[in-house]
Chain A
Amino acid sequence: MGLLSDPSISTQSKLVDGLARHVRKVCYALYVAGVAWFFCLALPEFNHGTYLSENALSPGLVYPEIRIDANRLAIQLLEELQRERKDHLSTTPHAWIAAKMNEFGLETHTHNYTLRYPFGGGKEYHGKNIYGILRAPRIASTEGIVFAAPYRAASSVHTDISASVPLLLAFADFARRKNYWAKDLIFLVTEQEQLGMQAWLEAYHDGDRDLDVSKAYLRPGNLPARAGSLQAALNIEVQDLEIDHVDVRIEGLNGKLPNLDMFNLVQRIMAREGIASGYKQAPRKKRRHSQSAFEQNLRQMLTMLASQSSGVPNGNHGLFHRYRIDALTIAANRRATHATLKGSPGSAAVPLLKAIEGIARSLNNLLERFHQSFFFYVIVNNDRYISIGDYMPALVALVACAFVKAYLTWSTLPALNAELETAAGLVRTQELNQELELEQEQEQKMQFEADSDTDKFELPYGSVLIYLTATLLIGFLCNVLPLQQYFLEIPMGAAPLTTSVLSFLSLIGFILPFVVVLPPGGLELLHVAFLLIYGCALIVIGLLNFALGFFAAVLTVPLVISLETKEENSRSTLRNSIRLVTLVMNPMMVIYVIVLAMTFYQFPELPLQKIMLRAATAAMDASAYGLIDSVIYGNWLYFVICTIFLPLWIICWTLALSKRRDYADYLDFDESPSTTPQPKVKTN
């Protein structure tokens, strides 16, 4: 602040004055430029074709050796598994899987984990993963690759993917008889969707953690055997041995992505085996619609960013990214009709097996971890991508609005000007300051000169800081309160509990500006602080999860630009509409609106009332899931919303209200501090 508040440095240049008059225009121009740049990225001139950067992968260098007998084995295993599934309706046939792995000569182990579900009094769930390690002949167990297949019980509500385990085992049997493996292969069958995978990964990387039994939610335990540092992972979700197309899923936890090389590798090998494969690959029929390339690209980009922004992985692969293991899911979808069958059903899965073998052998070739190519990218098409260097300018342009406005607001702060004027000993008339305010300031100055020995008007840094801390505290409480033992013991579901806590704290935030009124100059200072924090927060979020940062910026920047604290703004309709928009921009409301839109999209036949009701329950569930995700998986969406967006919204709401204390009040306060609700407000 020394530099900024040094009176010898004049912030009053003509340029700044000129710009300050047109803050909004400048900011809107930046905003439009940012959004336009983003749309331009969908044009082929603005994105690049994919290429393999890591030469060691050399996809397709070897002939696939896997033959039809592996496919026969897969079919046979699938039949056996279907019989097992009749006996294990809601559990995993662990014994069968372990027996098969043992028979194929893998070093088979089981991994037990416990989840202590914190809400509604607490419940314990036990899970069990099975994994077999193929000890590679060419290495002393220092590196490994994971091949994972989630197992879904027959009673699961999700799509049946029971063919994945037989396929995995058939590949394991093939791989076991080869001597070229230079990385241990781990064949892992997890249950309970992502929970099993998370537990396994945590046990692999933090198996010794001495967890406090009463506090830990997921107790992963320790693994009986490991295979060194994991280099890559492939998650296989196969609906049926007869497949139509393969959807390559890459979005991971908190929007992290695997190395682009890994995606390219899968694409190349799938193409070689003649499997229709791609990012967000749709069935054949849906693919035949006439859209321009631009429209298609844009749609692809937006769907990718949309699925990234929630930070929830769309497959088990997403959990690997946290440990810097590049992973993706190949989700093979069932062929709908048998009319388009090319080969006999006896060899239906051979291309997929060959593809898995090809991927495995390429990964086996890796000499170093994935480090080339890109970790931050947006896929516009199966063979085109946008690198971080190309998409960041869009976000930067949006965020720049906040910083530009912050600087211009700061340099035209009435208090600062007054200060400068005092220092210079002259009073300059300013267009932006109204007569009244000036008079006020003059009065203030005179007042100060009269009753204190300081002759400067000082900004109320202290009270603004306290106000900021208070808002942050509310955000922090959102994180902490729902998990307090006292609340957890209430026999109440997770969703109502979380929602009620959040709504309560939002309500406090809503009321806060009515109760606490900042001293003069405080609002302006708060405005500057808000803009700076907002800008920093967005750029950081955008770096970690571009999708979330970008969408948040697109949504909120116009509001932030139009936000004004000056009292002289006579157009009260604009003012009121800003207040209304701010209200709608409450994180809780935004979530509700998003959920509402999704519900409407999914159930268009329902009446509006029902939709709204359903959306409300869904939004409540969403907030609870957000909390659970953050606690168990380390998803920081909930944290970001509570600790960053909610405090920012409270400040924004304060600014939109612009509750000012009358000058007379202020004088009163000076004389009798006990009458105001805020006890710690600092004055000179």
Chain B
Amino acid sequence: MFPEALVLLLLVAFNAGSCSSLGKDDERFHEELVVRPLSGDHVNTYFQFTTRWHYGEKDNLYHTQLTPRVIAELLQQFAVKELHIGLTQGLWRYETWGYPIVEATSGAEMWAWFSGRNLTNGEVDRQWKELANVFSGVLCASLNFVDNTNSIAPRHLIRPQFMPANGQRFVRYSTLPREIVCTENLTPWKKLLPCGSASGFASLLNSGHVHNTKYHSLGLKVRVLCEDHDEDNCIVELTQTANLVYDLRLFELSNNDFSLRRLFGMGLNGFCELAASSKIYVQRNEQGERFQLVPPPTQEDVRSTRGGHSVIYSVYDMHEQFRDAGERLFNVAWLSPKSENRRRNLARPSLPPVTVHRYLLGHGQERGRIVTEVTNSHYDALPIMVQEMVPWYVHAYLHTLSIRRKPQRVNEYGRQRLPFKLLHYTPGKQRELPSHLEIGFMLPGQTSALITIDVDYLLLKWLEYPPDANHGHYIGAAIVSSQLPMGRNYTALPPEGHLFEHSFNATRPSYVLSLHTEALIVSLPTPDFSMPYNVICLACTVVALAFGPIHSVATKMIIVGRQASAPKNFIKKILNKIFRRGKAGDQAAAVPPEAAEEVALNAALASGLGSSSSRATTSRAGGDQPLLEDLDEEEEEQD
């Protein structure tokens, strides 16, 4: 099976080149910026800030320098070995933009690996929730909503990147597709950097401009690399990434020229003094080919050939650029030749080998079908794995799961099916667990696969609807993973590397690709929260209010005060009433307050009671002699 092969591959890779580069107590910080012009007048800027600390023993974690204290404390408190958090707005368009350097799903995404001695599932659940709460505070995101109802333990799809990964390990994964990413997340994220936003590349990340993009994704990745069986020789690696896609058309420019100043609103003020390296990589081939760079880069034409596919970069080394003291303001401009048409290049990019889409079919608020479509435009068959997490308010039916196929160029799906190679399913539980589905299959070349599963929408309890009930509920994105035999469009870092330049010439037998689909909105059956619904609520309230008195009438003891020989005459009746009131007042004064309340009960009600109950009454209300006698008399009369 290919997942096992994958793990093996990763481990081999780790052993080859991880721990060797750093000496003991060595702590390095690197900042990198990659600028890649994409097709359709888009520009991808990717920031990566890497802190790598060979802390050795665990006790050293109390004294942090470049690594934020939160991360160090994390390793002490939790058995977490690897942690990924992504906060993303927008959707990466694979068809036009190719593959991103780091993957993220829209909204918030978080997964972590736990490993340690005597770790149980329950303990991991507890730590997972606490971890989410910690980062909820650190990043000002709603990660505190991560709990068992929206977390799963992926079986095959998410592979560990920490070391040693061969012991007992647990993984938890969760997404919050509704999370909206904003300035309030960017600011705390920048505070984790050694230089903050004061200097270095992070000074470019101004919320006003960052959030004017088509796609922006903040990432945080922590992993621990220890030598096998040696907890005292460890490296902690913190990678913070910011992946932005600018749309040049939104600038309303007359041409396609752009510059750092235009993208970020300001030029670069040098580099972070604490950084060991500070480099800007600019892609020069494909879409970047037509641009001229001003000022010229320090290093032209760095060619990276990976899996038979070459990419050319130009590099600005900021340390070299500003070797001399003095003014450090810096700007890079991309100029397209003047001859080029104002109307931009319409050249279609080559389609990446695997693309994914997800959508909801069917209409109405009762049921529907979740559809994940995977297209393989490579000529050869590829292994595909899909992980779906269906929230508890949507019931998925496993027996309806099917994979249909069609040739890529054909419009309609026929009856041809693809067999499963792997199927893992954990059924969901209402209000407790999401359904978790992982499937694996081989997708033939030039073919699309349509994975459908029928779902029912649940009618929620009325307090479970959010204030904007008619907005709909979200179903998180699916993750699709594959192994590409070639490196076209592939830009992700190799798992053993930590810098962008480690991806240069990193040819491997295969490249693990992981893609995120769109999230979905389902409109669950929503009651009309306007008048009729209010009426129902009001009626329920009235019933609830009425229940109190009825309950008290039905359960309280009833003592019948007997009326002495009711007179027939009308005048006598009135007189009798007046006299009785006087008497009753006396009686009320005599009996304790509890009993008085009982006496006041309607006599008419009491007449319906059987004699046995009245007898029980008498035995308890023994102190009231006159009443007792009266009751006995009444019974006799009835007889």
Contacts and interface: CB of A to CB of B under 8 A. Distances in A.
Contacts of B357: 225-226
Contacts of A228: 359, 518, 520-521
Q: By CB atoms of chain B within 10 A, which of A142, A207, A225, A369 has the most?
A: A142
Given A105-B40, A107-B96, A369-B471, A112 B411 contact: yes
Contact of A135 (B93, B369, B469): B93
Nearest to B107: A140
Given A177-B249, A369-B523, A103 B518 contact: no
Contacts of B359: 226, 228
B212 interface: yes
Contacts of A226: 357, 359
Provide the main secondary structure of the chain B interface.
Answer: loop
Contacts of A138: 89-90
A208 B363 contact: no
A369 B106 contact: no
A341 interface: no
B521 A229 contact: yes
B361 interface: yes
Contact of A323 (B107, B363, B413, B469): B363
A390 to B, nearest CB: 15
Contact of A105 (B212, B249, B452, B469): B249
Interface string A356-392: 0000000000011101100000000000000000000
Nearest to A212: B415
Contacts of A205: 361-363
Given A210-B414, A228-B520, A369 B249 contact: no
A324 B364 CA distance: 8
B212 A179 contact: yes
A58 to B, nearest CB: 16
A140 B90 contact: yes
A137 B520 CA distance: 17
A177 B412 CA distance: 34
A152 interface: no
Given A226-B359, A324-B363, A368-B470, A142 B369 contact: no
A140 B214 contact: no
A134 to B, nearest CB: 11
B628 to A, nearest CB: 45
A103 B468 contact: no
A141 interface: yes
B41 interface: yes
Interface in A187-214: 205-208, 210-211
B51 interface: no
Interface string A175-192: 011110000000000000
A142 B518 contact: yes
B521 A372 contact: no
Q: By CB atoms of chain B within 10 A, which of A176, A219, A324, A369 has the most?
A: A369
A143 interface: yes
A221 interface: yes
Contacts of A135: 91, 93, 214
B247 interface: yes
B412 A368 contact: no
Nearest to A143: B521
A422 interface: no
Interface string B336-373: 00000001101000000000010111111000010100
Interface in A95-149: 102-103, 105, 107, 112, 135, 137-143
A367 B468 contact: yes
Contact of B250 (A140, A177, A225, A371): A177
Interface string A60-100: 00000000000000000000000000000000000000000
B249 A142 contact: no
A481 B625 CA distance: 89
B249 A176 contact: yes
A54 B392 CA distance: 30
A206 B518 contact: no
B404 interface: yes
B469 A368 contact: yes
A575 interface: no
Given A139-B90, A229-B521, A177 B450 contact: no
Q: By CB atoms of chain B within 10 A, which of A137, A228, A229, A369 has the most?
A: A137
B59 interface: no
A322 interface: yes
Nearest to B252: A177
B411 A105 contact: no
Interface in B518-547: 518-523, 526, 528, 530
Contacts of A178: 250
Contacts of A222: 411-413
Nearest to B88: A140
Contacts of A323: 363
Contacts of B522: 229
A368 B521 CA distance: 11
Q: By CB atoms of chain B within 10 A, which of A177, A208, A372 has the most?
A: A208
Nearest to B93: A135
B473 to A, nearest CB: 11
A115 to B, nearest CB: 14
B91 A140 contact: yes
Given A221-B411, A222-B413, A206 B41 contact: no
A177 B523 CA distance: 31
Contact of B362 (A206, A210, A219): A206
Given A137-B247, A222-B413, A142 B361 contact: no
B249 A208 contact: no
B519 A140 contact: yes
A208 B371 contact: yes
Interface string B423-467: 000000000000000000000000000101000000000000000
A367 B415 contact: no
A368 B471 contact: yes
B40 A219 contact: no
Given A141-B518, A142-B521, A369-B523, A210 B107 contact: no
A324 B365 CA distance: 10
Interface string A137-172: 111111100000000000000000000000000000
A591 B316 CA distance: 81
B481 interface: no
Nearest to A207: B361
B213 interface: yes
B519 A368 contact: no
A174 to B, nearest CB: 11
B149 to A, nearest CB: 21
Contact of B530 (A103, A324, A368, A372): A372
B474 interface: yes
A225 B448 CA distance: 13
A142 B520 contact: yes
Nearest to A322: B363
Interface in B236-252: 247, 249-250, 252
Given A142-B518, A178-B250, A368 B91 contact: no
B472 interface: yes
19 contacts: A135-B93, A135-B214, A137-B90, A137-B215, A140-B90, A140-B518, A142-B518, A142-B519, A176-B249, A205-B362, A207-B361, A207-B371, A219-B412, A226-B357, A228-B359, A229-B472, A229-B521, A229-B523, A368-B471
Given A137-B214, A178-B250, A221-B412, 11 more contacts: A107-B96, A177-B249, A208-B404, A222-B413, A226-B359, A229-B360, A229-B520, A323-B363, A324-B363, A369-B471, A369-B523
Interface of B: 40-41, 88-91, 93, 95-96, 106-107, 177, 212-215, 247, 249-250, 252, 343-344, 346, 357, 359-364, 369, 371, 404, 411-415, 450, 452, 468-472, 474, 518-523, 526, 528, 530
Nearest 4 A/B pairs, CB to CB: A140-B106, A368-B470, A140-B91, A221-B411
Interface of A: 102-103, 105, 107, 112, 135, 137-143, 176-179, 205-208, 210-211, 219, 221-222, 225-226, 228-229, 322-324, 367-369, 371-372
